[in-house]
Amino acid sequence: MTTVASSPESERSSPRGQVVIELLSSMRFAISLLTIICIASVIGTVLKQNEPTNNYINQFGPFWAELFATLKLNTVYSAWWFLLILAFLVVSTSLCIARNTPKILVDLKNYKENIREQSLKAFHHKAEGHLNEAPEAAAKRLGALLATGGWKVKLQERDTPSGKGWMLAAKAGAANKIGYIAAHSAIVLVCVGGLLDGDLAVRAQMWFGGKEIYNGGGLIADVPAQHRLSERNPAFRANLLVAEDTASGTAILNQSNGILLQDLPFVIELKKFIVEYYSTGMPKLFASDIIIHDKATGEKREARVEVNHPASFKGINIYQSSFDDGGSSVKLQAVPIAAATQSFEVEGTIGGSTDLTNGNEKMSLEFTGLRVINVENMSSGEGLNGTAVDVRKVDLRSSVEARLGAGHKTTQTKELRNVGPSVSYKLRDAAGQAREYNNYMLPVDAGDGVPVFLLGMREVPSEPFRYLRPPADENSELTGFIRLRAALDTPELRDRAVQRYARKAVDPKRPELTQQLADSAARSLGLFAGLEQVQGKPVSGLQALADFLEANVPEAERPRAGEMFVRILNGALYELDAVAREQAGVKPLPDAQVQGFMTQAVLALSDAPFYPAPMTFLLKDFKQVQASVFQVARAPGQSIVYLGCALLILGIFAMLYVRDRRLWVWLSPQGEGSQASVALSSNRKTMDVDREFDQLSARLLGRSEKTP
């Protein structure tokens, strides 16, 4: 016979599969996965998800945009590595449950009544006492007493040298171990529900079903079938925009590099969209009255969809997501900023565009947005009327009061006011470059008593709008400013204004100063209009006067010379406005409005050359059509996630607030009575356990005598 001896190393070594299972089911592996998921969730919260690539390039630059796309940080929750981590977490937690649940179930059934009486002396919580009853009678009485306190009890009879002894084993708090199973099962259910409700089903159809992302244009009805998902798609979450008095049955799933279309088994018709606003201009309530048309049966069902109050049809939930413009019609008037441009009117629809020509120059006017309500903060230092703050001012009383009282009290005063409708549009040149404009329909009084038109412009969407603020005339129109702007570019009108100003400003007794003042006024107007170059560069506006003084006037005399130049410029511009009004047959500006109008006109004329378009478009009339943005979702994992959340709450509550306790009472014969030894164990050492043991030993033994 041949005996094959195995080495101790081979006996201790475990199969490779067992090692992998040990790793996957270990607590450290699960915690590592949860840490990565938490970090990824933070990234997904901070970084906007599923935005167009150009938005990331504009905000972060090409390098970071490419890095985000490579690591899928712009689509964290649908990234392959995020889904893989979730899958590993499900496997790890499931293995952990599979390994420990049998042990927990066995432990729940086991009273551990076979413990030796000598072992009770090793417990931290232990006590001894003498009972006047026989061991059997004492065991039954104590068992009944513990049962009334919620303990589960089991009795065992043993033979001892002195006679029959009884071991009483009791347990309580078994829900603590059930909580362990519930909490870990909850993690599995939540992850499985998340995988089901994610875009895993959509990706599977793209991988195995031949579906492709669509990044073209055109009508939704013309999109080919390979870019559409079936009505039987088991899980999706898409957006659906429906304008008032229209219907749609095709939703859009936004992807990082395009879209997918999701056909719905029904059509949503929007009858009416309702929106209410707070005084701050924020929406207080928006809801949609809809009619759901079943494609299969033709059934019609009316419903109202509000925020946090969705409608449901055929297992698909319809949520009120937001609202948008549904194709409002607008009428714009082109107002010339440059003198050579003629005024005209143009009509269009929000979301549409029209072509414009200016000689050989061709542009496209794109109507991008209409806002009927614009609530602005008109207080000093904020909003449209922002002013500088005197940092030298010290007001101790105001500073202390501003920091006392209610927690929501702020140190800034707000004056909110609705300043009326506004329209936004883009002017795109032949090369495809576009600038975005935002103009308010009505003149706005920013607090200084002079109503101005707000003409906003920005180069890229990431920048705030910069506003040109021409003053409104006595008819609340921009005509007065445009007339003055054109007169500034007309030599004949400038000469007439200069001569008139010189005659009025010079004392009739000193006529020899008339021509000298006229020359100074002509020089001021010429510099302001940009007719001269200063230090070899073209410049206009107030900057031209400043550069001229810096180049030609000694530094010590500049304040006095500057004051004189500004006074002459203001007088000449006033006469220029009067001359322009006379030529147009318009009455002079009322005296109460002269100073405010001219002050703001000087500032606007100085900034006008920097306006990048020869014209601006003012909103003359509009007809608003609102649209509702719905989120439609088929979420088979929603119930699973809810169940997982309930189990998680119960499991954590059980593990934190329920203590698993074991109690043993050994009763051995002693004379006519019995000697009792009591011991208690708990999974958590707290002061409550100490107090509970003192109470138990007092009830069971009639006194509390702890053995040191």
Q: List residues bridging with 678 in a β-sheet.
A: 127, 665
**What pLDDT band is residue 249 in, cutting at 50, 70 and 90?**
very high
Q: State mean pLDDT over 164-191.
A: 91
Highest mean pLDDT among 37-51, 194-208, 433-447: 433-447
Flag whether the pTM goes above 0.85.
no
| Residue 579: burial class (beta carbons within 10 Å; 0-12, 13-18, 19+) | buried
- Model confidence pLDDT, tens digit, residues 378-394: 665 445 544 444 433 44
Q: What sign results for the dihedral spanned by CA atoms 120, 125, 126, 131?
A: negative
Burial class of residue 13, CB neighbours in 10 A (0-12, 13-18, 19+): exposed
Mean pLDDT of 427-437: 90
pLDDT in tens, 50-93: 777 777 887 888 898 889 888 888 888 878 888 889 889 999 99
Distance between CA atoms of 41 and 469, rounded to whole angstroms? 44
The pLDDT score that the predictor gives to residue 414 is: 67
pLDDT digits (tens, 9 = 90+) for 533-561: 887 788 888 888 888 888 888 888 888 88
Kindly tell me if the per-residue pLDDT of 9 is higher than 50: no
pLDDT of 407: 46
| Distance from chain centroid for Cα 259 | 22
pLDDT at 425 exceeding the cut of 80: yes
Q: What is the mean pLDDT of residues 667-681?
A: 90
C-beta neighbour count of 527 within 10 angstroms: 25
Helix or strand holding residue 603 (H, E) = helix 591-607
43 Cβ partners below 8 Å, 6+ apart? 73, 76
Confidence of residue 412 (pLDDT cuts 50, 70, 90): low
Please, what is the Cα angle at 386 between 384 and 391, to 5 degrees?
Answer: 170
Helices 491-505 and 479-488 meet at what angle, rounded to 10? Answer: 90
**Would the pLDDT of 289 be above 90?**
yes
Q: Label residue 562 by pLDDT band (50, 70, 90).
A: confident
CB atoms within 10 A of CB 257: 11
Token readout for 43 is: 């990234």
Closest CA relative to residue 238, chosen from 246, 248, 224 = 248
Q: Give the least confident one: 333-337, 339-343, 605-609, 610-614.
A: 339-343
- How confident is the model over 207-229, as a mean pLDDT? 87
Confidence of residue 12 (pLDDT cuts 50, 70, 90): very low
For the residues 515-533, what does the mean pLDDT come to? 87
CA distance 170 to 177: 16
Rounded to whole angstroms, the Cα distance separating 621 from 629 reads 25
Give me Rg for the CA atoms of the chain.
42
Percent of the residues in the chain that have a pLDDT greater than 70, as a whole number: 91
Q: How far apart are CA 3 and CA 281, in angstroms?
A: 90
Least confident of 136-140, 242-246, 275-279, 291-295: 275-279
Distance CA 149, CA 142 (A): 11
One-letter amino acid of 603:
L
Say what the alpha-carbon torsion angle 318, 324, 329, 330 is, to the nearest 10 degrees.
170
Of 71 and 16, the one with more pLDDT? 71
Does residue 504 register a pLDDT over 60? yes
Non-local (6+) Cβ contacts of 307 within 8 A are: 285, 286, 287, 320
Distance CA(218)–CA(706), nearest Å, equals 86
What lies within 8 Å, CB to CB, of 176 at 6+ separation is 654, 655, 658, 659, 660, 683
Residue 454: pLDDT over 70: yes
More confident of the two residues 462 and 692: 692
Residue 491 tokens, joined: 């030599």
Are the CB atoms for 256 and 53 separated by under 8 Å?
A: yes
- Report pLDDT for 401: 54
- Residue pair 613/155 in contact by the 8 Å Cβ criterion: no
d(CA 257, CA 54): 10
611: Cβ–Cβ under 8 A, 6 or more apart, which residues?
A: 337, 455, 457, 468
pLDDT at 651 over 50: yes
What is the arithmetic mean of pLDDT over 129-142? Answer: 91
Please give the Cα distance from 701 to 394 (Å, whole number): 76
Q: Where are the beta strands (DSSP E) in 299-454?
A: 300-306, 311-313, 316-325, 329-336, 344-349, 353-358, 361-371, 375-377, 416-418, 422-429, 434-440, 444-445, 451-452
pLDDT > 50? residue 511: yes
User: What is the CB neighbour count within 10 angstroms for residue 10?
Assistant: 8
So what's the pLDDT on residue 59? 81
Please give the Cα distance from 52 to 542 (Å, whole number): 42
With the CA atoms of 60, 63, 64 and 66 taken in that order, what torsion angle do they form, in degrees rounded to the nearest 10?
120
Structure tokens at 216: 């073209």
